[in-house]
Chain A
């Protein structure tokens, strides 16, 4: 009996090969998209979740007038630890931000992400060594770790025993500096603290006296601690004990806030919450696509079931119970969904491999695991029930006789559901298509709009300045002068920060006429503005070293437009600005440069020439503007200089192109663009599939009507229009509903950018036209065929 049913199911599936395949394909897309997105979201939200104290760890930061920073005073952590009993421990972290960190082992390795944490932070983040205890004796005061692959490169094979620490030359062979490596870091899972080279040292040991850097502070609190109360306590402590020590630090007048570890990977307060938004968008969109695909599938099953009404009626007459018919229908649906699930699994493993190979993404292990199989299984059951139950019960309940006569009168009710689904699908497709256009336009805007500075032809060397004497007329100055002479180099400059840099310049406190303001500070040299083509709007900047050397007590400051606006002075030139323990005189105003991306408004910035704000921040970045087409020669010239410097000749020289670096700032947006394009593609395909099968169904239902019309004298064109009319109506409804929604959503997204395009009406028009054309193509195939059918063929079966 079952065998018979399977045989029949298989044969009826084969009969409608094309539609069965379409069904399966659409559903497979839905399954795959959903699982991929879900596992991606799983991974991104799993950072540090393996830490047993996950929900008790917070980052301490400062906030003032809507600005957030994670740069805190180095003494804050130890202060908190000893003063507040609710805090179990408090640690610090700082990233090595002077370019790459060279290790000279068996091979020379350039570490791109080195960081320093203290022992308390190591405790908080459960940093462990694979090769034994982190601290092997009481007198050990540091515990630097490297990752496995790095260790294999710098140490001899088989020599990976860390009972005693291994000493490795670092930074500069000439200076004979060494660091001791104490072990290989253990990978406990995805974590915020993820560095190839992790120094575990106490900052107090590194610097005698006042520590010049700001650290990120993390605390681990006792269970049941009230966070708001704690934040206030820390704030009071901070203002009582830390602020009096140093006034110039960023946001030192601000308020303490606590950011939980749960948020730090995706939406840290001091960063962008784009990753978090992306996850939400991906999640919602993938659910939508899954619902679309399943709804499509259900729609198509229902449509096909209607065609088989005669067969079902007959079976009933011949004595089949309703239950048998239901079982038969469910079985067919089950076979289809199972096939879709199997195909989906294959597709997932292919995608996993592709991701691994081309994007170096380890999502594969998340994709192919038991969870996936379970989800697919659930999906199969769920879709079977969803698609099979309705037609199975409704169809088998019809009166046999009326069915035999070919009547389908009672189907009007179903149409609302189906039409609603189609409207939904078209609406979503419209939303995505418009979104795709808008995202494309915004990214183009970012790429082509005047940034306030010119990154083309600019080569940057991060950290190069560390190896030279940076005094006003020291070896660094001489290097720059020499490079300037080279014909392939137009201009050379140096600075503490540069546009496109991942690190933002620090905020410092400045005051003018009793008014206190927070400005970004960038230390520059005389050629900075000319090298980057930043326009000087008012005043004059010094163009020779003589001017700067002239008066050792004078401190010149150049401010940007935003700073000038914040100061609100009619004539900013000559005004006095006090900050960083000196009195500046403003000598010029320059144009705002969108140096750190389009998402944030340009910050008011002060540029100065004598490193007044932080002696520990050298102008380590060398900025070289090459002549058109001479970038390669420029790089060669710098390389030659590098090799002539005795302290650097054995070190590799790393450089980057500023325009490429700048583009990377918007990496997240571009990733979003790619993801969005894929989803658009998916949604449009699914909508087209739905329409295609809906058209086929409509054609079958109305075959007789169309034949009668033809006999009465209708032309092929008018039949065509007749059949298409309901779809045009659906499209219109979908457009009317979806347009305002799309406008709203896209506007909200664009609000994320401080500098953005406006939503033009023609974006919507183009999207509407494209979707309309796709719709026409999808349904026309069926309707044209139907319009051409000979009426005799369909009117004879009475």
Chain B
């Protein structure tokens, strides 16, 4: 599904180059559940951002379902992202002036789905995550775990085939973290490809494959 070939990314510090990613090549199949692990500064988040088309490598190729993503126009890229991917952030990044319902609804609006379609999809998700009673609350009224769940629901709203998660349990306690990881496993069983970046070994065990990174290189 995803092919990364010899990705390089660097920052120019004075006259030297400081590499964030050094010759990273990776293949990801459909249905995979990959955990990218490594210490801070190893380039994990950057790699995830590149996969999620939020960032660009300075060198290298990125093929998504056979298409060379880096040669696509930005608009096409956003379309691609919208239809296939969902992103879960570590700090949830919910929209503060919108209710839970509206937050989950947002990606659907940008996909130009009709009002009734949106209603049905969102209520399904609310049901699934057992947060129906909270649909009119604002993010500031929810706990961290609940906000993360909303974030995940939002990421799933567009029925993505690929779910990207950047330290999804980083701000949660162990019990909430467990719930989230179990949810991921379940999604994976249903066919969603998941790539997660994590610090925790425990989280990594939920996945099928683990990839280690150190100083911008795969180990």
Contacts and interface: CB of A to CB of B under 8 A. Distances in A.
B111 interface: yes
Interface string A356-383: 0000000000000000000000000000
Given A315-B95, A319-B82, A401-B49, 4 more contacts: A8-B98, A315-B106, A317-B87, A320-B110
For the complex of A and B, list the 7 residue pairs with the smallest distance between their C-beta atoms, beginning with the closest: A319-B110, A319-B82, A11-B97, A318-B107, A401-B54, A320-B110, A314-B93
A326 to B, nearest CB: 14
27 contacts: A1-B109, A4-B102, A11-B97, A11-B98, A311-B95, A311-B96, A314-B93, A315-B95, A315-B106, A315-B110, A317-B87, A318-B106, A318-B107, A318-B154, A319-B78, A319-B81, A319-B82, A319-B107, A319-B111, A321-B75, A321-B110, A324-B110, A400-B54, A401-B54, A401-B55, A404-B93, A797-B91
Interface string B110-130: 110000000000000000000
A15 B95 CA distance: 13
A12 interface: yes
Contacts of B49: 401
A310 interface: yes
B93 to A, nearest CB: 5
Nearest to B95: A311
Nearest to A14: B97
Interface string A304-319: 0000001100110111
Nearest to B106: A318
Contacts of A319: 78, 81-82, 107, 110-111
Contacts of B107: 318-319
Contacts of A1: 109
Nearest to A15: B97
Interface in A388-419: 400-401, 404
Given A319-B111, A324-B110, A314 B97 contact: no
Contacts of A401: 49, 54-55
A317 B82 CA distance: 9
> Which has the most chain B C-beta neighbours within 10 Å: A315, A317, A324, A404?
A317
Interface of A: 1, 4, 8, 11-12, 15, 310-311, 314-315, 317-321, 324, 400-401, 404, 797
A19 to B, nearest CB: 15
Nearest to A3: B115
Given A319-B78, A400-B54, A401-B49, A314 B95 contact: yes
A311 B96 CA distance: 8
B93 A310 contact: yes
A404 B82 CA distance: 18
Contacts of B75: 321
Contacts of B54: 317, 400-401
A314 B154 CA distance: 12
Interface bin, chain B: 20 to 34
A470 B95 CA distance: 93
A315 B87 CA distance: 12
A299 to B, nearest CB: 23
Contacts of A404: 89, 93
Interface in B56-110: 75, 78, 81-82, 87, 89, 91, 93, 95-98, 102, 106-107, 109-110
Contact of A4 (B55, B109, B154): B109
A368 B91 CA distance: 54
Given A315-B106, A319-B111, A401-B49, A12 B95 contact: no
A216 to B, nearest CB: 70
Contacts of B91: 797
B58 to A, nearest CB: 15
A320 B95 CA distance: 14
Contacts of B95: 311, 314-315
Nearest to A318: B107
Nearest to A797: B91
B141 to A, nearest CB: 15
B144 to A, nearest CB: 13
Contacts of A324: 110
B45 to A, nearest CB: 9
Given A317-B54, A319-B82, A12 B110 contact: no
Contacts of B98: 8, 11
Instruction: Name, among B87, B96, B111, the residue most crowded by chain A CB atoms within 10 Å (CB to CB).
Output: B96
Nearest to B90: A798
B23 to A, nearest CB: 22
B97 A12 contact: yes
Contacts of A321: 75, 78, 110
A310 B92 CA distance: 12
Contacts of B87: 317
A11 B95 CA distance: 12
B52 to A, nearest CB: 8
B28 to A, nearest CB: 21
A597 to B, nearest CB: 63
Nearest to A400: B54
Nearest to B83: A319
A306 to B, nearest CB: 16
A318 B55 contact: no
A310 B97 CA distance: 12
Contacts of B154: 318
A1 to B, nearest CB: 6
A315 B98 CA distance: 12
Contacts of B82: 319
A15 B98 CA distance: 12
A9 to B, nearest CB: 10
Nearest to B79: A319
B33 to A, nearest CB: 23
A320 B98 CA distance: 16
Nearest to B98: A8
Contacts of B109: 1, 4
A315 B110 CA distance: 9
Given A317-B54, A319-B82, A400-B54, A8 B110 contact: no
A639 to B, nearest CB: 77
Nearest to A401: B54
B152 to A, nearest CB: 14
A153 B82 CA distance: 83
A15 B138 CA distance: 13
Nearest to A316: B78
Contacts of A11: 97-98
A317 B111 CA distance: 12
B96 A318 contact: no
A310 to B, nearest CB: 7
Contacts of A8: 97-98
A357 B109 CA distance: 55
Nearest to B94: A314
A4 B118 CA distance: 13
B177 to A, nearest CB: 19
Nearest to B54: A401
A467 B164 CA distance: 106
A193 B98 CA distance: 66
A320 B78 CA distance: 9
Contacts of A310: 93
Nearest to B93: A314
Contacts of B110: 315, 318-321, 324
A398 to B, nearest CB: 13
